[in-house]
Structure 1
Amino acid sequence: MEQIRSQARLQVSTDGAWPVRRTQILDWLVQESSQERFIDVIFQELCDRLVDTGLPLARATLHFRIENPQWFGARIVWRRGTGQPELTTFEHGTLDTVGYAGSPIATVHDGQDEVRWDLAAGDAEAAGSPLFGQLREEGLTDYVAWPLRHTLGRRHVVTFASDAAGGFSHEDLGLLFDLLPILSLVSEIRLKNRLARTLLETYVGPHASEAILAGAITRGSGSTVAAAILVCDLREFTHISDLWPRDDVIELLNSYFDAICEPIERHGGEILKFIGDGLLAIFPLDRPSACDDLLLAVAEARQAMDRLNAERLAHDRDELRYGVGIHVGDVMYGNIGSRRRLDFTVIGPAVNAASRLENLTKLVKRPVLVSKAFADMARCQARLESLGSFPLRGFGEEMQVFAFRDDWFVAKASA
């Protein structure tokens, strides 16, 4: 490859200047791509521009290892004439699959600086990867893969493939190779931006992360939000955690949170806080359907917990019990904490009321309790039964409390 690279430079540098097409693409990548946030958009335009210069590029890919709780990596595939690139994510454990082992991507990850294959003449089986056979069937003739080097030696991969009769020329390869340092820098910036957003979404939720990224980072910054509030807590967790092995406790918590949280997020709720075995979530009332969305989430969460408990009983384990308190009102939504450690959350009497209702489920032996204020706003009284009025710690007046009839959960979740 070094010989190819040197020949390319000799061919294009005899007058002491870069070729016009190379300068235009490099200038665009360095100076004009700065306004675009997403690397897939930049990559698409880069490939389109390369084709416009006459480069016989038919397919190109980017392979990134990403920091995400769900995904180990992502692949962006551009094909000439197809418009928007294809984005595929890969789960953790991908490195152990047959498709990855022996692939050119694995070879570059392992330290090789180039993988080149003549698809038109080469034997795909001899290459050691079924990918080359697939590309040959697509009509591609030439393939090259290089590392994109990010900070601290972290390697990602870019590949280019041609469908021209002679594949890539020495000049074509020189052009592509000279793009790598800038493409590495541009992609690392976008990945770091995406990482920051992913980490915030993972630990504080999508809405709070947007507010933080928009500049709400000073202590006390925030706003008053009208919201339906949900507080959920697992019963007898202290007893379980004292008796069970650590790994079993973690697995139990993760299964429980999956059952409760996925319906909440699916229906537009924002989970603001995990507190041991409990959680706090809100459904902002700027959406007319917020209360109904919360009810759907609760119904689906109950069904998910029923399925989880059926699995547990099948393995001779006890059922999990939980309590949910639901209220509605204005909350202060913003940054609270010490000078150097902040928490983006909600506080206020409405949050306290939801928490007291959750705690009351232990006394009345009903899994879900709602306040009269929420029942009136959600207009769901037909599915409720009043349990009477109860004193709640911190509140001067007793609060009328309602519980759902069991048949409501089935009807609501299947609606």
Structure 2
Amino acid sequence: MQLSSTLAWLLDAAAETAGADRLLADLGAHLLADGLPLAGGTLTLDVPHPLIARRTWLWRTENAEVIEALGFAPAAFAPVPVAGGANDAGRRWLTGLAAQGRIHEDMIGARPDAPSLAWIGPHPFTQAEAAELHQAARFAAAPLAAITARATLMAALEAYLGRRSAARMLNAPLRRNVGETIQAALLFADLRGFTMLSDNNPPALVIAALDAWFDRIAGSVHVFGGEVLKFIGDGILAIFPVTEGAPRGACDAALRAVAAARTGMAHLDEERRRHGLTPLPFGVALHLGEMFWGNIGAANRLDFTAIGPAVNLVSRLEGLCRPLGKTVLVSGALAQQTDAPLIALGTHELRGIASPCAVFTLPED
């Protein structure tokens, strides 16, 4: 039996496609080359992601472009009811096309959450054309499963490790002591009084407080180009890697992230007071230094993390926030690389650190 060029491509090469969006576009192009009349196509997948539940891509024949629509997870954002408008018009348009026989849809697999592949024709599909599209969908199952597996792995790694760390880990051998020494602005933050909060409140309330805190501090880190390396109890370790040899950009980004987090926590504390809850005081320390960024651990159980004197110093520096009565402390090493207004607090001994550290803070306003 002679396979069409589309089916041969699906068997031999489609699994190496970069992503589901490219699979849709390339599959549509192959079907067109095999003589199928297509005006466009859609591919819908459920995806494992903290915020996104579903991804849909639309491919248009006239310009070969692919656009994407996201369906957010129920817990990610508050649902916004939509009545009328473009959404309803779009649904009516698709319903009308389906009634005309201009849409052919296949579920790829038997699971309830199986991917959906649909094609839009310039005219109603004939029985033979619909059979060819159905056959292509069957052959697309294996390459789509491979592409989805890669995307699932990357999404899971990014959710637990961060984007940079996930990419670095995938491109390096899974062995101990594999990594690199990098320079970065480091951020270490910690809630104060968390033990008392945990002892005096039910677990659900404690977890909600932790999530709200992490949303604000980690969200600010990500907005300004940093990456969260670790959640440590109620603490967080994040980095702003130095690029192109100049540390000033990383240091300024870390300071802007702290300012944003401080504003976000002020709004959160106001909201908590309105609900009769106590504020969430916290401390943040910033430092600039080098660290080893890579794999450590047992022979068969690894952790991708950052270690080194700079990591030790920034965590010890955060411990000075309470005795000095400050929310934010900045090391002398980072202070030298920024023009931001800082207030000198003198030189202080840090537990376990050989040399005293010059300490600065941000204005409290």
> Residue 258 and residue 205 in structure 1: after superposition, are their counterparts in 2 closer, same or farther (change >3 A)?
same
What is the distance in 2 between the residues matched to 1:97 and 1:311? 21
Q: Unaligned regions of 5+ residues in structure 2, if any? A: 83-88
What secondary structure, in the 3-state scheme, does the structure 1 residue paired with 2:237 have? strand
Corresponding residue of 2:133: 176
Measure how far apart 1:145 and its partner are: 1.9
Computing the radius of gyration from Cα coordinates, the structure with the larger value is 1
Corresponding residue of 2:317: 357
Measure how far apart 1:97 and its partner are: 9.9
Q: Unaligned regions of 5+ residues in structure 1, if any? A: 1-16, 100-128, 408-415
- Is 1:389 paired with 2:347? yes
What secondary structure, in the 3-state scheme, does the structure 1 residue paired with 2:210 have? helix
Measure how far apart 1:401 and its partner are: 1.0
What is the distance in 1 between the residues matched to 2:21 and 2:161? 26
Q: What is the identity, as a one-letter code, of the residue corresponding to 2:61?
A: R
What is the distance in 2 between the residues matched to 1:142 and 1:177? 14
Corresponding residue of 1:51: 32
How large is the RMSD of aligned CA atoms in angstroms?
Answer: 2.4
What is the distance in 1 between the residues matched to 2:305 and 2:74? 34
Deviation string for 1:292-334 (max 9, x for gaps)? 1111111111111111111111212111100011111111111
What is the distance in 1 between the residues matched to 2:292 and 2:263? 32
- Is 1:327 paired with 2:287? yes
Measure how far apart 1:404 and its partner are: 1.2
Choose from 329, 335, 338 the match for 1:378: 338
Q: What is the identity, as a one-letter code, of the residue corresponding to 1:158?
A: L
Contact 1:327 1:373 in 2 (8 A): yes
Most deviating of 335-344 and 188-197: 335-344
Measure how far apart 1:349 and its partner are: 0.9
> Residue 291 and residue 387 in structure 1: after superposition, are their counterparts in 2 closer, same or farther (change >3 A)?
same
Alignment of 1:9-408 (within 5 A): 17-18=1-2, 23-93=4-74, 131=91, 133-136=93-96, 141-149=101-109, 155-164=114-123, 167-287=124-244, 288=246, 289-380=249-340, 383-407=341-365
Measure how far apart 1:251 and its partner are: 1.1
Deviation string for 1:198-255 (max 9, x for gaps)? 1111101111101111124211111111111110001111111111111111111111
Contact 1:372 1:401 in 2 (8 A): yes
Measure how far apart 1:82 and its partner are: 3.2
Q: Structure 1-normalised TM-score?
A: 0.80
Contact 1:387 1:400 in 2 (8 A): yes
What secondary structure, in the 3-state scheme, does the structure 2 residue paired with 1:346 have? strand
What is the distance in 2 between the residues matched to 1:266 and 1:33? 35
Measure how far apart 1:135 and its partner are: 4.9
Measure how far apart 1:89 and its partner are: 1.2
Q: Which protein has the bigger helix share? A: 1
Contact 1:309 1:320 in 2 (8 A): yes
Corresponding residue of 1:410: none
What is the distance in 2 between the residues matched to 1:397 and 1:155? 59
Contact 1:140 1:162 in 2 (8 A): no
Measure how far apart 1:140 and its partner are: 6.3
